[in-house]
Amino acid sequence: MPGVFDRLDKEIKLKQQADGITALDLVDLPPTLRKIMRLLLRELQMSYPSLLEAIESLPEADRLTPDQLDSALLSLTQQFWLTHIGEGKKAIYKVNLRKKVGSKLASGIWSSLDEKLKRKPKE
């Protein structure tokens, strides 16, 4: 029988999955994972074969083996940095970006400006 903590843990994980990441979060990633994220951020979505091609085009010191790439993609997906559709060689990976929070400023600014413009200046 699941307890309160299990339910809260599940809710936290779902919230993290829905929230996604921001560009500032990239700083905390290890260099290998950061390389993959930077590649994906340029394209926003890439197929597995495209990722392999992109990795092969990197300088030799920065290249990953297919096994390293698979491990990194699995890790990024489990941490909700990436979402994917499909499996294996047919998978398409996409960066899980956080939704932007709307501005609170805009809600009343236009009416306030209109009021000021409607007032006649005193001469």
Residue 113, pLDDT score = 74
The set of residues, in sequence order, having a beta carbon less than 8 Å from that of 68 and lying 6+ positions away, is: 32
Name the residue type at position 19. D
Average pLDDT over residues 92-114: 70
pTM, whole model, 2 decimals?
Answer: 0.62
pLDDT at 57: 92
| Alpha carbons within 13 A on the beta-carbon side of 99 | 8
Q: Domain 4-118 adopts which CATH fold?
A: Arc Repressor Mutant, subunit A (1.10.10)
